[in-house]
Every structure is written in structure tokens, then in C-alpha cells.
Amino acid sequence: MFDPAMDAPGEEATYDFGARVDDLRCHPTDVLRKLLGEAGDEEQRWRLERVAITRVLDEREALDGRDTTISARTARSLVEVGRALEQQPAIAAAAHAGELTWDQLEPVVEIATPDTDEEWAARGQRCSPSELRRLARRTRRVSTETSDARIEARNFSIWRRPEAGMVSFRGDLPDIDGVLAEAVLERMIDRMKPAPGQPWDTRAHRMADAFMDLVRNYADADPATKGSFKPLVMVQVRADDPDALEANGVAVAKRRLAEFLADVPPRATRQVVDDLGGLVPSSDLDQESIPAEVRRFVLARDRECRTPGCERPAREIHHMDPRSTGGTHDPKKLAGVCVPCHHGYEPHGPWRLVGDPDVPGDLRRIHRDDDRSRDGPDDGPSP
């Protein structure tokens, strides 16, 4: 794998990591990048060998359940990936060739079936690990028992730190309760705008201030009788699997969702969308601002920034066809992105996001001066 002149000391010598790093510092960046790729490929091949061995030991019921050198999650993942890859030869071959990393392989074997093996062997390479994990979560149906266990596991703790003069909080809320709390707090911090000419306060500060607003206004916090705002909970239903239900990106059980939808008076604004069919907005797609139902749909679909490789939360909506060149608010031409990435996209920056946001792994980030941006109609208008 490595250039012999750059190989680490032999097995008989004590390995000196610092010396190896010093040796690598003497080589140009392009060589280091090549070696990094080769090391990753070799690591992946040996990991697949471990998966294959684990698969055979699993069949023989000879796995050592007392192995303390790896976590229970890693041990379980090796077994599950091994079982899946026997039925997914194309994905296994792609992983062995270094075209799928382990972070991609784990979720992609859960998404793919023997019938879609070749499709996901190719598509998985273009998807970020976070996008694949999100798709994998959506393949898991949530049973009533799982939903009940989530409710039973709810908790909230508060403790004092006298030395720091602070009070700390930590808690876990189950599915719909959690997204409801998140929607309320997100709405509150988005409305905490600074005075004209002043910078925005940090998100952490605004979240703390929003929590204290709820505490101070507890007596007036009944949404059934006070105020006009109700937090949005977007319920997503897959056309190909109606039992795979999500609320604001969190998988929920059918019974739990039914109880939420039957709540009278409603605690939240509910919008139900067909995840595969998308959204057909009732509003004019050529109006000045993005219609409210379109904004809600896009941010529910794109929980994380759609820039390939970025895993920050999506906070803004990017027009893949800029409004200045005739673009509309069609959801198929909108993508949720983070603030830093948004600043880099045209018309204000030099980058384009092209592809179909409804197809996993189809979006690409290209420079507007790249000739590939003129290869076909799907690449958007010229700047």
C-alpha cells in the first residue's frame, strides 16, 4: 500500500508515532492525500474481512459475548452488516473497492434490499452519512411498545453548581413531545431579533432566554386560550409505506400519532404531507416571498443542510434557480441549507447546488465557472 521509502518501522521495532508524523511532514500535501485515501481503502478491506469472519462465527453461535475491546453497538453493527451483505453483493463489492466508507455502509445496508442492491451501491456513494442515517431511520417502523418505552424513559433533571453560580438542566422528551418543545423554542428564538444595526445574539443565549420566558410566563402559557401562535408539527406519510410515520423528522408509532391528531383543542398546527408525492402548494409560486406551507415543507424535508458533506442544521432556504434569473418557489428547486453554505451560493456567491432535492444523493455542489454546469438543463440557468 505505502511507498517503501515511507513505510513505518518494522514489526521488531517499537512503534514511534511522533517519528512517523515527523516523517510524513517531509512530504507534499498531494502525496499525503493519496496515502490517506490508500489507508482508508486498506482499512475498509480489513474491516470487511472482520465482518465476514464475524458472519461465520455468528452462524456457528460462537461469538464471544464478553469481548470488552469493542462496544455493544459496534459488535451488533458487525453482525447486522454481515447478515445484510450476503444478500447485497453489489454493495459489498463497492465497499471493498473503497467506493463506500464504513459510515456510509452501515446505514445503506439497512436501506437497500436484494432488489435495490445495485441501485444503492451506486447511489450510496453520493449520499452523506447523515443523509443515509436519516433514510435508514425511516425504514424502521415504530411499534406501540417502543413508543410506550420512549414515554416511560422521559426525564428532566435540574441541579445546582454553586461554585459556578449556575443552575444546570438536562432531559429527554419522547418523539412528539420533543418536537413540540423544539418547535416552540425555535419559534421563540427566531423572533428575538436584535435592535437595528446590532448583531444577533448567539443561538445558545437566545435559547436560554426563551426557556426563561416560558418560566416567567407560566401562568399565561396555555396555548388553548392565550395568543394565536401554535407550533408547527409536520406529519410525513410515505406513499410506499403508510405505516412509516414521522413527525418533524422523528419516527412515531401509529397510536401515538393518532392520539396527537385527536387532541382537542389542538396544541399545534398540523400539516400532513405525502413524503414521496411532495407538496402541491395552494399559494402562487411566483409571489415575492416563499409561501408559508412551502417553507414548512422544505424545512421538514431538509432537517440538515443539503450541501454534500455538510451536517449542520438547515436554517435557511436556498433557491437553486435564483429569483433574479426567473426562479420560482417550486419545492423541487428549493433546498434547506445552513447559513454559512447559503452565503456561498449564487447569486451572492460563486457556487451552485444542482440536482433533484427529492432524490437521495442527487444534489451536487459545483462552481459556476465549471464547464460541467453547462452540460444539461438540470444544472440550472447561467448566472
Domain spans in the chain, listed from the N-terminal domain onward: 4-126, 302-379
Q: Which pLDDT belongs to residue 379? A: 41
> In the predicted model, is pLDDT for residue 373 greater than 60?
no
Nearest to 303 by CA among 246, 219, 231: 246
Strand-pair partners of 159: 168
Q: Cα 327 to the chain's mean position, in Å?
A: 27
Q: Find how far residue 3's CA is from the centre of its chain.
A: 38
- pLDDT, tens digit (0-9, with 9 covering 90-100), for 201-226: 999 999 999 998 888 776 555 555 45
Q: How many CB atoms lie within 10 A of CB 376?
A: 9
Confidence of residue 190 (pLDDT cuts 50, 70, 90): confident
Q: Out of 53-67, 188-202, 347-361, which region has the weakest mean confidence (pLDDT)?
A: 53-67
265 band by pLDDT with thresholds 50, 70 and 90 = low
Rg (CA), the chain: 25
For the ranges 7-11, 175-179, 267-271, 276-280, the one whose mean pLDDT is highest = 175-179
Over residues 164-170, the mean pLDDT reads 89
Higher pLDDT, 345 or 265: 345
- Predicted confidence (pLDDT) per residue in 151-162, tens digit: 999 999 999 887
- Residues 81 and 72: their CA atoms lie apart, in Å, by 14
211 vs 254, more confident? 211
Instruction: Label residue 1 by pLDDT band (50, 70, 90).
Output: very low
Banded pLDDT at 232 (limits 50, 70, 90): low
Residue 49 banded pLDDT, cuts 50, 70, 90 = very high
pLDDT (0 to 100) of residue 131: 86
pTM: 0.62
128 — pLDDT class (breaks 50, 70, 90): confident
pLDDT of residue 139: 82
Question: Sign (positive/negative) of CA torsion 90, 95, 98, 103?
Answer: positive
The whole-chain average pLDDT of the chain stands at: 81
The 3-state secondary structure of the chain, one letter per residue: CCCHHHCCCCCCCCCCHHHHHHHHCCCCHHHHHHHHHHHHHHHHHHHHHHHHHHHHHHHCCCCCCCCCCCCHHHHHHHHHHHHHHCCCHHHHHHHHCCCCCHHHHHHHHHHCCHHHHHHHHHHHHHCCHHHHHHHHHHCCCCCHHHHHHHHHCCEEEEEEECCCCEEEEEEECCHHHHHHHHHHHHHHHHCCCCCCCCCCCCHHHHHHHHHHHHHHCHHHCCCCCCCCCCCEEEEEEECCEEEEEEECCEEECHHHHHHHHCCCCCCCEEEEEECCCECCCCCCCCCCCCCHHHHHHHHHHCCECCCCCCCCECCEEEECCCHHHCCCCCHHHEEEECHHHHHHECCCCCEEEECCCCCCCCCEEEECCCHHHHCCHHHCCCC
Residue 156: predicted pLDDT: 93
pLDDT digits (tens, 9 = 90+) for 269-281: 555 555 544 555 5
Per-residue model confidence (pLDDT) at position 354: 92
